[in-house]
Structure 1
């Protein structure tokens, strides 16, 4: 894999704005070509908020081009499996795909930054890093090694900390725990003694009920409820320190992108940005409603102890330092990202936490 110098794209003082122009709809008489694409995705259609954002992208593109540019989305396994999207787009099997960088850490661990990293950035902070902090340029350079252009195209918001069949009160309680948790979160949990299992999404609930695993994470209350996880385990923990946000990517085959008229390119970028904003807004509403149903039911809502959170944070940054020491590409993103994180944390500690500590506790 080519190793580009990412410092030019992710330096702490970078202030290059990622501007997305709002395109004018293509006029009926414009001499624009008819373009028909397929989009493979990592998601089932039952994940309605995620798939709804994907549908929004496709609808906006069609509407803005007068039906001249169409994209047909396909659910997971209709064309390729969830982790098969990267290769499908890279090889031109499909023109574009919707997925998460977490599926490809074995290909390049730096792709975790495209999605989220433990004790990283919340949705607003993640967007600030991507659009104004050099993050998008850095992520696009990672995907460029696969012949792909990428755009943020959805965010789950801050997730929940998973379902457990027994209480987890101390770090020692994690030792030997069989848990389904992917990505860097799984690698951190492994450092804490967890027996990390790799189980596809459609088998999670059954594995939890049957005792193949004792704990799992998925996304948040809305999607967890659809999967029936609240019927498989009684203890629901928070926060998901491994996913303070989760950005999904629209991946585009570079050669296919280059053949698009510039107007179509701008329309697709704008549609992806809309999906990125709207997905987290929809999750804010749906997750709150689902969590309330859990609370009035049999679910026990519990926070992770400070001891577990501290141990997880220390293990996470130990993992980052170890990875940066042996992987130059990871280091070139991680170092400026870490500086950005420090700056935005300092600001949000004053403006957001100062507000939330009072206001959020003053409601019923």
Structure 2
């Protein structure tokens, strides 16, 4: 993608193009090389691919003067330590999921997805235009990073299980790979959450170290091979209705960037974000058909499990908000925005999608 095409794709328009064109052709643009560790194995061409798309867009929009080299999880730092590497300046930028760092502060969950939070579009609207980016970056500042939108998977699946989940009692003692805040919710229902990086999940599931695992959805899950050792595939992933992926940027490095490079980096993240959403919407239906044809057993979580999970999630939200001002502030911002948007979504979007889905199945 050439710089001119990038400007068109990101929707900067004539005025924006004029603003960007002048510094783009200036001979004085500095040459900058950054490293971007990610939390993803290279085999996941959606997640790791999103980081690559972002880096490529930056290079092509700056005539290769601003280059970002991407690294898979484990190549520089383990997949769950990307934030730490950016925070301490080991690397300038990282591509990850904010909720992986829930253990540092529960507020990190909002940079990805809170259990029973909004869908993909509402979550993004909140981040971009509803005050989400501002309230999150105010929080991230204390960790010496700022955030840029860099991906979204859409609503995820509920995961793979060796045995069927028919009642809430079936969760008791279940060792389940799940990240961050959602693990705390499931723990309230008796499950034993395990936070494991993507590339390490299959061995744990195969060896029986865990009883089940969730990742993203059919396309990625098929690549990771979970269907080979856990036949029961559940939906929906109520813990991730529309999870955002972010690029964390070291705050000092961000502030030192020329303004033009800051703009390019931010727009490249938006481009990668749109690419990732389209990629999942294109690839997931085909992958699900292949999985079902191969013997995967598809189940909806029973209403009893959904309601119990919802109740446990809301109780945990209230508990943490009562003692953590950062969490409370971001939670109130997201909840107020989400409730308002769902009042609109149920008018047109939900009715239309439900009608079309019924006829598509016919």
Q: TM-score range by the shorter chain?
A: over 0.9
> Which of 215, 221, 232 is matched with 2:218 structurally?
221
1:248 aligns with 2:245: yes
* Counterpart residue number, 2:8: none
Q: Which runs of 4+ in 1 moved over 3 A?
A: 19-23, 25-29
Shift in Å at residue 185 of structure 1?
A: 1.2
1:342 aligns with 2:339: yes
Cα shift readout 1:117-152 (whole Å, capped 9, x = no counterpart): 111011111111011110011111111111111111
- What is the SS of the residue equivalent to 2:40? coil
* Counterpart residue number, 2:208: 211
Shift in Å at residue 259 of structure 1?
A: 1.7
Shift in Å at residue 354 of structure 1?
A: 1.0
* Higher RCO (CA 8 Å, separation ≥ 6 residues): 1
Shift in Å at residue 202 of structure 1?
A: 2.4
* Counterpart residue number, 1:110: 107
Shift in Å at residue 154 of structure 1?
A: 0.5
In structure 2, the CA distance between the partners of 1:27 and 1:359, relative to structure 1 (3 Å rule), is closer
* Counterpart residue number, 1:237: 234
1:279 aligns with 2:279: no
Contact 1:162 1:240 in 2 (8 A): yes
Distance in 2 (CA, whole Å) between partners of 1:66 and 1:212 is 48
Shift in Å at residue 209 of structure 1?
A: 2.4
* Counterpart residue number, 2:5: none
* Counterpart residue number, 2:196: 199
| Pairing of 1:31-42 with structure 2 (within 5 A) | 31-42=28-39
Contact 1:24 1:64 in 2 (8 A): no
Contact 1:102 1:183 in 2 (8 A): yes
Shift in Å at residue 210 of structure 1?
A: 2.4
Cα shift readout 1:277-313 (whole Å, capped 9, x = no counterpart): 1111101111111001011121011000111100001
* Counterpart residue number, 1:98: 95
- What is the SS of the residue equivalent to 2:346? helix
Gaps of 5+ in 1: 1-18
Shift in Å at residue 52 of structure 1?
A: 1.5
* Counterpart residue number, 1:187: 184
1:300 aligns with 2:297: yes
Shift in Å at residue 67 of structure 1?
A: 1.3
Distance in 2 (CA, whole Å) between partners of 1:206 and 1:255 is 39
> Which of 268, 284, 288 is matched with 2:285 structurally?
288
Query: What TM-score comes out, normalization by structure 1 length?
Result: 0.92
Shift in Å at residue 28 of structure 1?
A: 4.2
* Counterpart residue number, 2:20: 24
The Cα RMSD (Å) is 1.5
Distance in 2 (CA, whole Å) between partners of 1:65 and 1:200 is 33
